[in-house]
Chains A and B, each alone.
Chain A
Amino acid sequence: MTPTEFASQLLQLGLALALAPLLVGWINQCRAWLQNKSAPSLLLPYRTIRKLFMKDAVVALQASPIFRVAPYVVFGAMCCAAAIIPSLATDLPFGRAADTIALVGLFALARVFIALAAMDIGTAFGSLGARREMFVGFLAEPALLMVLFTASLISGSTSLPTIVDVFAHRELAIYPSLAFAGVAFAMVSLAENARIPVDNPATHLELTMIHEAMILEYSARHLALIEWASSLKLFNYSCLGIALFFPVGIGVAGAGWTALVAAAPVLVAKLAVGGFALALVETLSAKMRIFRAPEFLGTAFLLAVLAMLVNLLLGS
């Protein structure tokens, strides 16, 4: 491990931790603008997290250790994922340790723990939310894997830094398979991050909640960690999408310090555009019935499989 690699790894992780709440704030602001409401402050997510960290935690009497451990596990899994995904540079010591399949595994680990914690308390809404989350998760995961396999087929490796290196260096060509995979990935990200067509992040109605229903019992530092982790998850998915489909500007292997410094503003600009696009999608679409979710995610899976088949047939 050279000092440059170490520095880029640290810088990337720090940037992810610092920027993730900002991304959520930016999306909320864009959504408020698009819906003709007065927008909340861009820094509101930071203030919420700070406020929650200063409060005293309340834990239910019958809560088992799983309930206390889950926020730390979820937050840790999201930090690991942020360290693996090449958002600034591909010279990552962590990137070599885990490939795309391990990344999907990390997301699954976080999901399992938060669902277990929700069922642990034994409230009706908790187990309802947990079941819905697993229902959406088991449909979204194969589609995500298929998208990643398509990228792996094109680049000949399941390791994310290699994929990004190959994608950033290839000749400019039209890849129908990547277009399909991109649409499938966008659909999966909407479902996984509890955004509007599948779940409403701003809802106050318990019966329609998925993600929010699972964390109803959490308070103070636990809630702060979970909120931070879910913003990190959104950040991770955005960075994964950028790395796979718009890799221009990411510091490729051996690019050195200047590329690393230049990559940060490019990443912020791409995230700003992506966040606006997400707010636009959320404004334009209505929440689906929960039993429509299989059709939505089935379409994503179909697109991802078609991407892989088209890639095998046409070689592009």
Chain B
Amino acid sequence: MATLPLYAQFINLFAAFLLLLAFAMLAQRRVLSLINLFAMQGFALAVSTAIVAYGTHQSHLYWSAGLTLVLKVLLLPWLLHRLIRQLDVKWDVEGLINIPTTMLVGIVLVVFSFNLALPIAQLSHTVTRATLGIAMASVMLSFLMMITRRKAIPQVVGFLAMENGLFFAATSATYGMPMVVELGIALDVLVGMIILGVFFFQIREQFDSLDLKHLETLKENE
């Protein structure tokens, strides 16, 4: 086994950590801990992006790392915490299927995405290409989280975590997207978050709860 340079080993370590955090979010019962885990995932992403920037001398990646740090570790968790305070919703997160089953489905998804990523990763020439599988797996796990959760806030956290996975995929496959695109996505996420926050209030106004199964009855009330 050829030994990788030290920075590549650290990237692998943080990639594995990212995957672990994705599973931890999937298994988390409490909404506050879920948001803290999301912030930790953002932090791991920022650190690994900074290491990629250091190892490959791609200075624009430092900006991406800084952007990730400000947006996903500080701003978005703060917004979410504020939303929870205002809505006064500290309930436990209820899943549609129980947690051990979700974990097993998660493992199957990880195997699937690792297999899917292997041929794609061979087309790439970056030093981080091996981590593409982990990036895809965290996207899939976030999807799973959005599917299996019933309440609005965990679904939004799942959506944001999916963006984390996509960002990591871009970094590992092509050393990141152009700065303009990255800024655009960051703004999108921020604006999306604010709009969703307004939605939460509207949903609660209408149904007195954030349970999204109430939305299914909209049609019958016409």
Contacts and interface: CB of A to CB of B under 8 A. Distances in A.
Interface of A: 171, 173-174, 176-177, 179-180, 294-295, 298-299, 302-303, 305-306, 309-310, 312-316
Contacts of B17: 176
A179 B16 CA distance: 10
B16 A315 contact: no
B138 to A, nearest CB: 12
A314 to B, nearest CB: 5
Given A176-B12, A314-B12, A171 B114 contact: no
Contact of A302 (B23, B111, B130): B23
B3 A173 contact: yes
Contacts of B20: 180, 303, 306
A316 B12 contact: yes
Residue among A173, A174, A299 with most chain B CB within 10 A: A174
Contacts of A305: 107
Interface string B15-30: 1110110010001000
A177 B114 contact: no
Contact of A310 (B1, B10, B19, B27): B19
Contacts of A298: 100, 103
B174 interface: no
Given A176-B17, A306-B107, A316-B12, 5 more contacts: A176-B13, A298-B100, A299-B27, A309-B107, A313-B134
B4 A306 contact: no
Contacts of B15: 176, 314
A298 B101 CA distance: 10
Given A180-B16, A298-B103, A316-B4, A173 B9 contact: yes
Contacts, number: 60
A152 B114 CA distance: 20
A311 B41 CA distance: 21
A171 B1 CA distance: 10
Nearest to A307: B16
B197 interface: no
B105 to A, nearest CB: 12
Contact of B100 (A174, A294, A315, A316): A294
Nearest to B131: A314
A314 B132 CA distance: 10
B133 interface: yes
B190 interface: no
Contact of A295 (B12, B99, B133): B99
B110 interface: yes
B107 A313 contact: no
Contacts of B16: 176-177, 179-180, 306, 310, 314
Contact of B3 (A171, A176, A294, A312): A171
Contacts of B130: 313-315
Contacts of B111: 309
B13 A174 contact: yes
27 contacts: A171-B3, A173-B3, A173-B9, A174-B9, A174-B12, A174-B13, A176-B13, A176-B17, A179-B13, A180-B16, A295-B99, A295-B100, A298-B100, A302-B103, A302-B106, A302-B107, A306-B19, A306-B20, A306-B110, A309-B110, A309-B111, A309-B114, A310-B19, A314-B16, A314-B130, A315-B130, A316-B4
Contacts of B12: 174, 176, 314, 316
A294 to B, nearest CB: 7
Contacts of B107: 302, 305-306, 309
A71 to B, nearest CB: 36
B98 to A, nearest CB: 10
A312 B114 contact: yes
A173 B20 CA distance: 20
